[in-house]
Amino acid sequence: MRRKLLPFYNTYQSTAAGAVPELVLLHGWGLHSIAWDDIMPALLASFQVTVIDLPGMGQSPLPNTEYDLNFLTQQVAAVMPEQAHVIGWGLGGLVALNMAAQQPQKILSIATFGTSPKFTAADDWPTAMAPEILEKFAEVLAEDQEGTLIRYLALNCKGSVTQPRDIKVMQEILYFCGLPDPRALAGGFRIMQETDLREVLAQLNVPVLMLFGEHDHIVPAATLGAVKELAPHVEVALLKEVAHVPFISAPELSAQALNDFYATVVR
């Protein structure tokens, strides 16, 4: 019998005494769980933390199957704790939101960095990237995956007050585990192009915090207002002087925003 391929994950014990809640971290497109290293000490002060590499990225294998959002959701669900708070960045945020809709018993709360329920702009959702820009990006990605990925990671950092340092850190993370599987890159980007979880977000019954960077060029800061209008129950916050990777640019600021949220939702 062929062994079932499941994502790589690692669980870090909390530095707090006694029983602590579970927290799962889901990284974004093109990288892996080491992206969370700078904010990890602050999270371990209150949680037992499990980091997961999405299939085909980092140390996770990629089964020969269709790479869509439901596949990612099922893969993450198979290795995460039975119940946990979840933090997702970008693509990882979409996985978290989708899991809350499909397997709500597993999700205690969701916090996201740089995630939109719809990454592609539409007439009724203007605060997102234009479809033609994303289509052009997909074309270039197919021709030069490594170069396109490097340019995309630089765009993650554009506008941050720590931009040069952020770009250096992102590139170091990228090459630490080797480049992602090309199928994972193409499939993950297609998920961000095509997914629309606006209805899901509006109907979620778990606590949700969505954090946005003031200078984010991938998920514009104006998305904050659109999310609040769509789902008034969702908590939103704007992190100043950062772009798409606040947990790298400003880990202390990011941790404080998360701590304020968890102070009201962790029992």
pLDDT of residue 17: 87
If you compute the radius of gyration of the chain from its CA atoms, what whole number of angstroms results? 17
Q: Does residue 46 contact residue 20 with C-beta atoms inside 8 Å? A: yes
Residue 1's pLDDT is 37
Q: How far apart are CA 149 and CA 174, in angstroms?
A: 9
- What does pTM read for this prediction? 0.97
- Please state, for a pLDDT cut of 90, what percent of the chain lies above it: 96
- Does the pLDDT of residue 16 top 90, yes or no? yes
Q: Evaluate if residue 5 carries a pLDDT over 90.
A: no
Enumerate domains of the chain plus CATH numbers. Answer: 9-265 (3.40.50.1820)
**Is residue 266 predicted with pLDDT exceeding 50?**
yes
| Euclidean distance between CA atoms 260 and 175, whole angstroms | 34
Residue 121, token pair as written in the block: 């702009």
- Report CA-CA distances (Å) from 15 to 143, 220, 263: 46, 35, 18
Q: How far apart are CA 84 and CA 101, in angstroms?
A: 15
pLDDT digits (tens, 9 = 90+) for 199-236: 999 999 999 999 999 999 999 999 999 999 999 999 99
pLDDT score recorded for residue 3: 55
48-52, strands of its sheet edge to edge: 9-12, 48-52, 22-26, 84-89, 107-113, 208-213, 235-239
Element (H, E) at 112: strand 107-113
What confidence tier does 267 reach under pLDDT thresholds 50, 70, 90?
confident
Q: What is the pLDDT of residues 130-171, one digit of tens each?
A: 999 999 999 999 999 999 999 999 999 999 999 999 999 999
| Helix extents (H) in 37-162 | 40-44, 69-79, 91-102, 131-143, 145-157
Contact indicator for 218, 129 with CB cutoff of 8 Å: yes
* Half-sphere exposure at residue 131, Cβ-oriented, CA atoms within 13 angstroms: 6
For 118-136, the pLDDT digits (tens) are 999 999 999 999 999 999 9
Are the CB atoms for 189 and 221 separated by under 8 Å?
no
The string of pLDDT tens digits covering residues 90-107 is 999 999 999 999 999 999
* Residue 2 pLDDT: 47
